[in-house]
């Protein structure tokens, strides 16, 4: 009966909202977008390299000739023509899928959210690489699932660790709903799962009756060799595959897809309709025109060349400027390098100094559900120009040197707000923010 104030909605929220707070990296991105700051933080594709005139022309023709279809409601499963075309895209990585089993989504992120809605009850266990994509962690946390990380190294997810984790959880009587993995040029590490480990992971899935969510936005962006065989190419009934137009075409279309076994696909369509009725016909048809009429394989070569050069620039700059004790991954594709600064430093605590030196990265803690990652940072090479990357890494080296010196003086790691066991002070659901895509 009392008047409503700004805080009066609190007790109306659903229980699942309790843990959902603003990601700490959000404020970072507001800072990082200032022009004077070299941002190695974002994960944006370099869409300026797209053939904008051609896309403008094909879009205009589409609206003129089939506007009454493009501006109308579609179906919850998505446009059939686009579903056929993404099957051609997946075939490049050995995936034989039928358009019947594809569901178009509002970017891969919505694909993840549909899967979370379909499979996850509160308290369910999800396995994911440690570290893992922050947007997936956010969606699993929104579903109140518990993410258990499986260690990875320079060859990707470690099968023996996966085996151990599955055995331990089974012994504890805990049901693992699925393994979430980004096998190619992973976000955030840039690491790719080797072919032999792919075989081993699929074998473990058979052994433990495990479902795998294979998220593959970067698979066609390899710099050194052609794409490997997808996990989905190895198993059609244990793997649900997520693809995306965001990195191969344009993120602003918000067009992704899920390839799933028929029973799962049917449910995904229901949830999709409940969430959005249908994905936008306009952007689906633009994607179809692009994939059907434009030489997209040639455009991928353009992207790969741009990103390869930037990767080289970043790795060279790291080698040239970083103090000893700092290590980093050597990605063979994708957008990201993952750096490790050593025990004495805390990348989150170091962030203000980095911003003062006009460089931004993403602290590693955002990519773990368990408070790990304080000695890591994600460095993105896809969006800044080579000169800006060089300058950014130079500034970052200075930041690390200053921070190291300070820590040596005080002889203490710079970690802040640790919980009683060295973990984070509280469990936080990360809402990812589009900047982390």
Residues numbered 109 to 138 that lie near a second copy (CB under 8 A) are 109-110, 113, 117-121, 124, 135, 138
Selection from 251, 239, 294 nearest residue 97 by Cα: 239
Residue 336: HSE in the Cβ half-sphere, 13 Å Cα cutoff:
30
- One character per residue 213-252, x = contact with a second copy (rule: CB under 8 A): ------------------------xx-------x--xxxx
Q: How far is CA 327 from CA 297, 321, 366, 376, 415, in A?
A: 34, 12, 19, 10, 19
Q: Between 139 and 375, whose beta carbon lies closer to a second copy?
A: 139
Q: Please pick, from the candidates 35, 36, 53, 171, the single residue that binds a second copy as defined by CB under 8 A.
A: 53
190 interacts with a second copy by CB under 8 A: no
Stretch of 84-92, 280-288, 323-331, 358-366 contacting a second copy, by CB under 8 A = 280-288
Stretch of 54-62, 193-201, 317-325, 392-400 contacting a second copy, by CB under 8 A = 54-62
Stretch of 152-160, 205-213, 326-334, 389-397 contacting a second copy, by CB under 8 A = 205-213
Closest separation in Å from C-beta 25 to a second copy: 12
Q: Between 178 and 361, whose beta carbon lies closer to a second copy?
A: 178
Q: How far is CA 50 from the centre of its chain?
A: 22
Reading the block at residue 8, the tokens are: 């009066």
Q: Between 158 and 280, whose beta carbon lies closer to a second copy?
A: 280
DSSP 420: T
Identify whether 430 is preceded by a cis peptide bond (ω within 30 of 0): no
Q: Between 3 and 173, whose beta carbon lies closer to a second copy?
A: 3
Q: Between 165 and 414, whose beta carbon lies closer to a second copy?
A: 165
Selection from 133, 79, 74, 130 nearest residue 104 by Cα: 79
97 interacts with a second copy by CB under 8 A: no
Stretch of 62-70, 88-96, 182-190, 300-308 contacting a second copy, by CB under 8 A = 62-70
88 interacts with a second copy by CB under 8 A: no
Reading the block at residue 312, the tokens are: 């080289």
Q: Please pick, from the candidates 227, 371, 413, 434, the single residue that binds a second copy as defined by CB under 8 A.
A: 434
Give the Cα separation of 240 and 193 in Å (integer).
Answer: 17
Give the Cα separation of 261 and 239 in Å (integer).
Answer: 8
Which of the residues 333 through 372 are near a second copy (CB under 8 A)?
none
Closest separation in Å from C-beta 424 to a second copy: 18
Q: Between 30 and 320, whose beta carbon lies closer to a second copy?
A: 30
Give the Cα separation of 110 and 107 in Å (integer).
Answer: 6
Q: Between 282 and 326, whose beta carbon lies closer to a second copy?
A: 282
Q: How many residues bind a second copy (CB under 8 A)?
A: 105
Q: How far is CA 208 from CA 37, 115, 161, in A?
A: 48, 20, 14
266 interacts with a second copy by CB under 8 A: yes
Q: Please pick, from the candidates 40, 76, 83, 393, the single residue that binds a second copy as defined by CB under 8 A.
A: 76
Closest separation in Å from C-beta 408 to a second copy: 39
Give the Cα separation of 239 and 179 in Å (integer).
Answer: 9
Which of the residues 153 through 182 are near a second copy (CB under 8 A)?
177-178
Q: How far is CA 326 from CA 98, 203, 313, 400, in A?
A: 46, 35, 17, 9
Give the Cα separation of 286 and 195 in Å (integer).
Answer: 34
Give the Cα separation of 84 and 200 in Å (integer).
Answer: 30
Closest separation in Å from C-beta 96 to a second copy: 17
């Amino acid at each position: 009966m009392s008047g409503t104030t700004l805080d009066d909605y609190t007790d109306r929220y659903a229980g699942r909202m309790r843990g959902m707070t603003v990601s700490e990296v959000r404020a970072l991105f507001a800072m990082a977008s200032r022009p004077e700051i070299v941002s190695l933080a974002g994960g944006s594709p370099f869409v300026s390299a797209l053939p904008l005139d051609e896309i403008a022309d094909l879009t205009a023709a589409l609206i003129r000739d089939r506007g009454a279809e493009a501006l109308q409601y579609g179906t919850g499963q998505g446009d059939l023509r686009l579903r056929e075309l993404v099957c051609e895209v997946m075939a490049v990585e050995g995936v034989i899928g039928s358009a019947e089993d594809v569901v178009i989504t509002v970017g891969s992120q919505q694909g993840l959210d549909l899967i979370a809605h379909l499979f996850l009850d509160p308290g369910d266990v999800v396995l994911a690489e440690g570290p893992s994509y922050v947007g997936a962690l956010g969606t699993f946390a929104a579903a109140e699932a518990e993410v258990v990380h499986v260690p990875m190294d320079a060859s990707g997810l470690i099968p023996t660790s996966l085996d151990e984790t599955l055995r331990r959880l089974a012994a504890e009587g805990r049901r693992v709903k699925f393994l979430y993995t980004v096998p190619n040029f992973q976000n955030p590490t840039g690491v790719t799962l080797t072919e032999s480990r792919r075989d081993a992971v699929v074998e473990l899935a058979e052994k433990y009756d495990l479902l795998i969510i294979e998220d593959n936005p970067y698979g066609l962006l390899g710099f050194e060799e052609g794409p490997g065989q997808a996990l989905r190419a190895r198993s059609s009934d244990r793997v649900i595959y997520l693809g995306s137009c965001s990195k191969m075409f344009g993120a602003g279309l918000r067009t992704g897809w899920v390839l799933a076994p028929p029973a799962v696909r049917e449910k995904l369509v229901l949830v999709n309709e409940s969430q959005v009725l249908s994905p936008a016909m306009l952007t689906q048809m633009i994607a179809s025109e692009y994939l059907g009429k434009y030489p997209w394989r040639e455009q991928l070569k353009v992207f790969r060349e741009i990103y390869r050069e930037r990767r080289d620039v970043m790795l060279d700059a790291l080698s040239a400027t970083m103090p000893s004790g700092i290590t980093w991954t050597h990605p063979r594709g994708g957008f990201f390098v993952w750096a490790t600064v050593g025990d004495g430093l805390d990348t989150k605590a170091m962030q203000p100094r980095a911003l003062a030196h006009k460089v931004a990265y993403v602290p590693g803690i955002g990519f773990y559900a368990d408070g790990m990652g304080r000695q890591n940072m994600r460095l993105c090479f896809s969006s800044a120009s080579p000169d800006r990357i060089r300058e950014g890494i130079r500034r970052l080296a200075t930041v690390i040197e200053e921070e190291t010196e300070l820590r040596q003086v005080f002889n203490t790691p710079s970690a802040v707000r640790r919980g009683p066991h060295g973990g984070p002070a509280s469990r936080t659901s990360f809402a990812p923010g589009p900047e982390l895509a």
